[in-house]
Amino acid sequence: MSRGSLLRVVRVFGNEADETVRELQADPEALVCNGADLLDDRCAGETDRERAAVAAERTVETAYEAYERRLDGPWIETKPIC
């Protein structure tokens, strides 16, 4: 995930009163480095990395859809950010 993509994801959920989101906002570059190190440590090859990418994409999509449902109302028009 690029730094810009990570920041967009974090900003989507930035209004959430969630400690995890605040931690992500605090140092996104360290998060990217830690994630890359974790992938290097845990993935045996390209297939594992591809599976990890699909899992991450699905996780973000699911979280965003849940976020949209909470916002959905007659006064708010949700729009995709990507």
56-74 mean pLDDT: 80
**pTM for this model (two decimals):** 0.56
Could you tell me the residue range of the domain that residue 7 belongs to?
A: 3-71
Examine residue 7 and state whether it is found in any structural domain, yes or no.
yes
Query: What would you measure as the largest C-alpha separation in the chain, in angstroms?
Result: 48
Examine residue 23 and state whether it is found in any structural domain, yes or no.
yes
- Radius of gyration of the chain from Cα atoms? 15
Examine residue 14 and state whether it is found in any structural domain, yes or no.
yes
The most confident of the ranges 3-7, 41-45, 58-62, 72-76 is 41-45
Residues of the chain with pLDDT > 70, as a percent, come to 57
Count of structural domains, the chain: 1
Q: Tell me the CA distances in angstroms from 58 to 27, 52, 71, one per residue in order.
A: 23, 10, 20
User: Is residue 77 predicted with pLDDT exceeding 90?
Assistant: no
Examine residue 55 and state whether it is found in any structural domain, yes or no.
yes
Examine residue 76 and state whether it is found in any structural domain, yes or no.
no
Compute the mean pLDDT over every residue in the chain, rounded to the nearest whole number. 76
Examine residue 49 and state whether it is found in any structural domain, yes or no.
yes
